[in-house]
Amino acid sequence: MTDLDAVVYGANELVVGPGDPLETIEDGAIAVIDGNVAAVGPTMDILREYPTENAAESIDATGRAVLPGFVDPHTHAVFAGDRSGEFAAKLRGKTYQEIMAEGGGILSTVHSVREADTEHLVANLLDHLDVMLAHGTTTAEVKSGYGLDTETELRMLEAIDRANEVHPIDVVPTFMGAHAVPDNAESTDEYVNCVVDEQIPAVAEQGIAEFCDVFCEEDVFSVDQSRVVLEAGAAAGLTPKVHAEEFTRLGGAQLAADLGAASADHLLHASGNDAEMLAEAGVTPVCLPGTAFSLGEDYADVDAFRSANAPVALATDFNPNCFSQSMQFAVALGCIGMRMTPAEATVAATVNAASAIDRNDGTGSLEAGAPGDLVIADVPSHVHVPYNFAVNNAETVIKGGRRVYDRDDGIRDDDGHRPQAGSE
Ligand SMILES: N=CN[C@@H](CCC(=O)O)C(=O)O
Ligand SMILES: [Zn+2]
């Protein structure tokens, strides 16, 4: 016997996935069986084949838009401490690099994370995942990189693993020991050796990361140093990712293309040639408009990626320097800041984002066979999500066919899912 988990029907618009550029169904419905999409189609057809009385969950989505759950392919969501003081300093004109050079920024979070116990890291991460879920994110990548020593990097990855076990969001772990050079290192080369000789083998032995990322940037890790880290990671089974061309055009995009990385991220200073190289190598360009927005920088040039036919993804880059967990906000900035069409931004935040983290099993779409991860938004169409920006349009979130968030009930606490804060 198969289990009919959920039937959602009567949607004003159901977004199935990319088409030209979006495939949608008017008065659409979806049936989820055993965690995966069994069928999408017009409400009449779906209800005839999948009567609501057979479904564990049936939802009338009249007047609503139903979209694939958002996929956030770039976050630094596990951290401790408070950097709101830097926010105020940046508003008075200090740059991100000046703060970093004074030992603030990433290094300030490193100090807080080294002092925090693992329980605390897990609790903080779960709180942030709750906010992401409530805004419609059903899959999220999370990086380590605020430990910068073997023990703390492993503790961060352990926190990610433990959060993944108990939270409805699928959490994808990335090792990022090469996020910054710790202040006690003798030199960058010496620290690169520590990442390659100690951290990567320890991470591989535990089997708790899927990707290896590096901050390829002037005064952080050079292209050559980044290559050494990513090649060692790849040899240990970790797929490369690159923080590339964020503040300067150093060559991280070319490196990502050379290594066949899963993604190259930031790309504020990438050129048209970089876009073509990434497209040819099948590397997903990930744009993080929240970072440009919060730093007051120019946005990435989406025209370059369009001309190169590169499948741009969007992510929040949620971290203490870019404090937004909302993919809806990333989509709004993709449109309003980068001039993406709402359809392009929707594809970028779902199926292209899934491809940036190697989830090419239909994640980010609602085609038959895809995971039953979806958002019911109380707006009439996907266009209204960025159009009605800076509010939470997600009303109900379904993960693997189960209702895991509802605006009225909060996050459900049955089957081991964590209760809402204050509900005990
Ligand atoms: N650019 C490097 N890393 C992060 C910022 C991390 C931080 O400032 O704590 C990013 O992707 O934006
Ligand atoms: Zn980042």
Residues 6+ apart with CB under 8 A from 362: 37, 369, 370, 371
Which ligand is nearest the CA of 247, by number? 1
Strands (E) across 122-233 are located at: 137-143, 170-178, 211-215
Residues with Cβ < 8 Å from 321, sequence gap 6 or more? 83, 86, 96, 105, 291, 294, 295
Q: Is the dihedral of CA 287, 289, 292, 295 positive or negative?
A: negative
Residue 83, marked binder: yes
Please report the pLDDT score of residue 423 as a whole number: 41
What was the pLDDT predicted at 420?
46
- CA–centroid distance for 9 within its chain: 28
Residue 192 CA to ligand 1 centre (angstroms): 18
Q: Could you tell me where the DSSP H helices lie in 247-380?
A: 252-259, 272-281, 289-295, 302-307, 327-336, 342-348, 351-356
* Cα–ligand 2 centroid distance for 361 (angstroms): 25
Q: Ligand 1: which residue has its CA nearest to atom 11?
A: 317
CA of 206 to the centre of ligand 2 (A): 23
Q: Does residue 317 have a known ligand-binding role?
A: yes
- Distance CA(126)–CA(121), nearest Å, equals 9
Ligand 1 centroid distance, CA of 246 (Å): 10
- Atom 2 of ligand 1, nearest CA residue: 215
Could you read off the pLDDT tens digit of each residue along the chain, which spans 424 residues? 578 999 999 999 999 999 988 999 999 999 999 999 999 999 999 999 999 999 999 999 999 999 999 999 999 999 999 999 999 999 999 999 999 889 899 999 999 999 999 999 999 999 999 999 999 999 999 999 999 999 999 999 999 999 999 999 999 999 999 999 999 999 999 999 999 999 999 999 999 999 999 999 999 999 999 999 999 999 999 999 999 999 999 999 999 999 999 999 999 999 999 999 999 999 999 999 999 999 999 999 999 999 999 999 999 999 999 999 999 999 999 999 999 999 999 999 999 999 999 999 999 999 999 999 999 999 999 999 999 999 999 999 999 999 999 998 876 555 545 554 444 3
The sign of the torsion formed by the CA atoms of 263, 156, 319, 69 equals positive
Q: In ligand 1, which atom is closest to the CA atom of 105? A: 8
> Does residue 243 have a known ligand-binding role?
yes
Instruction: Determine the distance separating the centroid of ligand 2 and the alpha carbon of 251, expressed in angstroms.
Output: 17
CA angle 303, 349, 87 (to 5 degrees): 85
For residue 28, give the nearest of 405, 376, 419, 406 by alpha carbon.
376
Q: Tell me the C-alpha distance between 379 and 136, whole Å.
A: 13
Ligand 1 pocket test: which of 319, 322, 323, 324 has the largest number of ligand atoms within 8 Å of its C-beta?
Answer: 319
pLDDT for the residue 153: 98
Q: In what order do the strands lie in the sheet with 137-143?
A: 70-72, 137-143, 170-178, 211-215, 239-244, 263-266, 284-287, 313-314
Q: Which of 380, 334, 371 is nearest to 14 (CA)?
A: 380
Which ligand 1 atom is the nearest neighbour of the CA of 322?
A: 12
Query: What's the CA gap between 388 and 137, in Å, rounded?
Result: 18
Atom of ligand 1 nearest to the CA of 100: 8
Give the distance, in angstroms, between the CA of residue 50 and the centroid of all CA atoms in the same chain. 33
Q: Which residues pair with 33 in a beta bridge?
A: 4, 36
Which two tokens mark 8?
């959602």
Distance 78 CA to ligand 1 centre (A): 12
Q: What letter does residue 298 receive in the DSSP assignment?
A: P
Q: What is the pTM of this model?
A: 0.96
CA 215 to ligand 1 center in whole angstroms: 8
Residue ID of nearest Cα to ligand 1 atom 9: 106
Contact 368, 40 (CB under 8 A): yes
The token duo for 101 is 């050079």
SS3 50: coil
Q: Which atom of ligand 1 is nearest to the CA of 215?
A: 2
Distance CA 374, CA 269 (A): 34
Task: Name the helix (H) or strand (E) containing 307.
Answer: helix 302-307
Distances (CA, A) of 55 to 7, 33, 66, 166, 412: 6, 9, 18, 25, 18
Which ligand 1 atom is at minimum distance from the Cα of 217? 1
Q: Which ligand is nearest to the CA of 112?
A: 1
DSSP string, 228-268: HHHHHHHHTTPEEEEEESSSS--SHHHHHHHHT-SEEEE-T
Judge whether 269 is annotated as a binding position: no
- The annotation status of 179 as a binding-site residue, yes or no, is yes
Separation of alpha carbons 324 and 420, rounded Å: 20
User: What is the Å distance from ligand 1's center to 197 Cα?
Assistant: 24
- Are the CB atoms for 340 and 334 separated by under 8 Å? yes
Please report, to the nearest 10 degrees, the dihedral formed by the alpha carbons of residues 178, 180, 186, 189 taken in order: 40
| ipTM for this prediction | 0.96
Pocket of ligand 1 (CB under 6 A): 76, 105-106, 109, 215, 243, 246, 291, 317, 319-322
Give the pair of three-digit tokens for residue 117: 């116990």
**Which of ligand 1's atoms lies nearest the C-alpha of 109?**
9
CA separation for the pair 324, 333 (Å, rounded):
12
Cβ-based neighbour number of residue 147 at 10 Å: 24
